[in-house]
């Protein structure tokens, strides 16, 4: 479904991604790990079309389409979802209004009629249960005054609402308490199917204990320097990144 080839990207003229190659197929879970500042969030921003980033080289194919040629909203409509590392607050805009707009835009793109208010609220209720999101949060302004953990839970709630084909979860585990981690990861698992795929960006094995990856990649200085199976994550947990740097001849 997703094929990234030799992807290079800049922010403010500074090159952050220096040639990424990655292929994701339906049903797979890929974990991306790597030290702070290695470019993980940059990769998710570039894939979702954040205009602050400039792609200088390479291509990304998503279900046969040139992803980079699509507007950010159409990437979303095509089924690409990002759970933000730092979800944004939008004061005065209710979650209900926000999600209703989002869901109906997606339906419009797919040639469907907008959902009626009743059907929409029913859908909200159903999806809230998947991540046990408090009704009080759902009736507040988008992320405004939400705690760190509440924001992350709210991201996965939105993912449930939009039913993406490919989800990128950027450090969704950070900020979640132990119980919340279990619930939110459980929610992600419930949403998993043969048809969709997940890219999990994380620093810790604890999330991967719940969301079992098929592949683990190490992103370092804008490149994927090592890929492997689930055991690679366990090894990183134990040994850190120095041995990889050594392999690269840096230390």
Partner 1 sequence: MKQDNPNEILNDVTANDYKYGFVTDIETDIIPNGLSEEIIRHISEKKGEPEWLLQFRLRAYDYWKTLEMPRWAHLTIPDIDYQAISYYAAPKTKVAPKSLDEVDPELRKTFDKLGISLEEQMKLSGIAVDAVMDSVSVRTTFREKLAELGVIFCSFSEAVKDYPDLVKRYLGSVVSYRDNFFAALNSAVFSDGSFVYIPKGVRCPMELSTYFRINAANTGQFERTLIVADDDSYVSYLEGCTAPMRDENQLHAAIVEIVVHDRAEVKYSTVQNWYPGDKEGKGGIYNFVTKRGMCKGDHSKLSWTQVETGSAITWKYPSCVLAGDHSVGEFYSVAVTNNYQQADTGTKMIHIGKNTRSTIVSKGISAGRSQNSYRGLVKVLPGAENARNFTQCDSLLLSSDCGAHTFPYMDIQNDSAIVEHEATTSKINEDQIFYCNQRGIPTEDAVGLIVNGYAKEVMNKLPMEFAVEAQKLLQISLEGSVG
- In the region spanning residues 84 to 103, those forming contacts with ligand ATP, defined by CB under 6 A, are 85
CA–CA dist 121, 7 (Å, integer): 40
The reply to whether 139 sits near partner 1 by the rule CB under 8 A is no
Number of residues that bind partner 1 (CB under 8 A): 33
The correct pick among 1, 4, 16, 184 for binding ligand ATP (CB under 6 A) is 16
Would you count residue 44 as binding Mg ion (CB under 5 A)?
A: no
Q: Which is nearer to partner 1, 89 or 247 (CB)?
A: 89
Least distance (Å) between residue 227 CB and ligand ATP: 16
Instruction: Determine the Cα–Cα distance for residues 146 and 194; give it in Å rounded to an integer.
Output: 33
Residues 6+ apart with CB under 8 A from 32: 40, 43, 199, 200, 201, 202, 216, 217, 218, 219, 224
Q: Are 158 and 99 in contact (CB under 8 A)?
A: yes
Q: Of 76, 172, 198, 202, which one interacts with partner 1 (CB under 8 A)? A: 76
Among 24, 38, 41, 191, binds Mg ion (CB under 5 A): 41
d(CA 174, CA 84): 11
Confirm or reject binding of residue 42 to ligand ATP (CB under 6 A).
yes
Give 223: exposed, middle or buried? Use CB within 10 Å, 0-12, 13-18, 19+: middle
Name the residue among 222, 240, 208, 232 with its Cα closest to residue 16: 222
Site membership for partner 1, residue 2 (CB under 8 A):
no
> Which residues lie near partner 1 (CB under 8 A)?
48-52, 71-73, 75-77, 81-82, 84, 87-93, 97-99, 101-102, 105-106, 109, 141-142, 158, 162
């Amino acid at each position: 479904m997703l094929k990234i080839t030799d992807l290079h990207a800049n922010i403010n003229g500074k090159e952050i991604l220096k040639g990424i190659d990655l292929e994701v197929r339906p049903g797979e879970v890929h974990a991306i790990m790597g030290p702070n500042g290695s470019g993980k969030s940059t990769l998710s921003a570039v894939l979702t079309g954040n205009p602050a980033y400039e792609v200088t080289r390479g291509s990304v194919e998503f279900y046969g389409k040139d992803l980079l040629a699509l507007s950010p909203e159409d990437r979303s409509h095509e089924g690409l979802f990002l759970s933000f590392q730092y979800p944004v607050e939008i004061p005065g805009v209710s979650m209900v209004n926000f999600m209703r707009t989002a869901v109906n835009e997606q339906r419009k793109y797919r040639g469907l009629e907008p959902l009626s208010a009743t059907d929409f609220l029913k859908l909200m209720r159903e999806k809230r249960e998947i991540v046990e999101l408090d009704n009080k949060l759902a009736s507040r302004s988008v992320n405004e005054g939400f705690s760190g953990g509440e924001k992350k839970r709210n991201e996965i709630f939105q993912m449930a609402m939009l039913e993406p084909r490919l989800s990128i979860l950027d450090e969704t585990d950070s900020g979640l308490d132990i119980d919340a981690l279990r619930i939110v990861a459980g929610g992600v698992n419930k949403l998993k199917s043969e048809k969709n795929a997940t890219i999990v960006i994380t620093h810790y094995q604890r999330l991967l204990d719940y969301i079992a990856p098929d592949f683990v990649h190490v992103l370092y200085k804008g490149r994927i320097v090592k890929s492997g199976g689930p055991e690679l994550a366990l090894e990183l947990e134990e040994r850190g990144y120095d041995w990889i740097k050594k392999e690269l001849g840096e230390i």
